[in-house]
Amino acid sequence: MNIGVLISGRGTNLEAIIKAVKEGKIKANISIVISNKADARGLKIAEKYGIRGIFINPDGFSSREDFDRAVANLLEKNNVDLVILAGYMRILSDCFIDKFEGRLLNIHPSLIPAFQGLKPQKRAVEYGVMFSGCTVHFVTKELDNGPVIIQAVVPVLPDDTEESLSERILKYEHRIYPQAIKWYVDGRIKLDGRKVFVEKAVYGTVPVNPELEDF
């Protein structure tokens, strides 16, 4: 299976996924990494591991849809079967989602449907919740609201800042995202409307549900 990864920033989740592939835990190939930011550190990470990384400048397109079509065409030229959003800071157009829906995953640093959209860690701290976390989900046309594959819960501490909570959540992002991708690649994820079931997974565990197997 060929994986394409869309990024905008530092690429820490990208690197966690690459390592899982290199270690043979994920039986797939990352065929291309695409960034909408020329200075995205994730492009350097792709280069470090010998993976093709491409910057596509959104300013060169007259509309969001035209940009997304160019990205989609490049993914298809690289025979991508699964598209991974890893810190990709653009809202996808309907035409892109229509093309890849059901094989398009994202990770969001909250327990969705809580704190969808930008700065979820900051909003969690300001709201005063006792728990936050991260979610791997299928991407749909509703922002950060697709069917949930796996979630990890972390406590929010009285002295937490956006940065400290983000760091605590990120440690779990690097574990649950490769796990969800492995399940997908292995054909174990079954989607029924909004409900996701991972075959042979252990449910009902904390802090991660379903239980981590490989990470």
Residues with catalytic roles: 108
- Sorted by sequence, the CB contacts under 8 Å of residue 35 that are 6+ apart come out as 6, 7, 8, 42, 43, 53, 54, 55, 56
> For residues 42 and 9, is the Cβ–Cβ distance under 8 A?
yes
| DSSP one-letter code for 187 | T
**Residue of 162, 169, 164 whose CA lies nearest to 107:** 169
Q: How far apart are CA 109 and CA 131, in angstroms?
A: 12
> For residues 56 and 74, is the Cβ–Cβ distance under 8 A?
yes
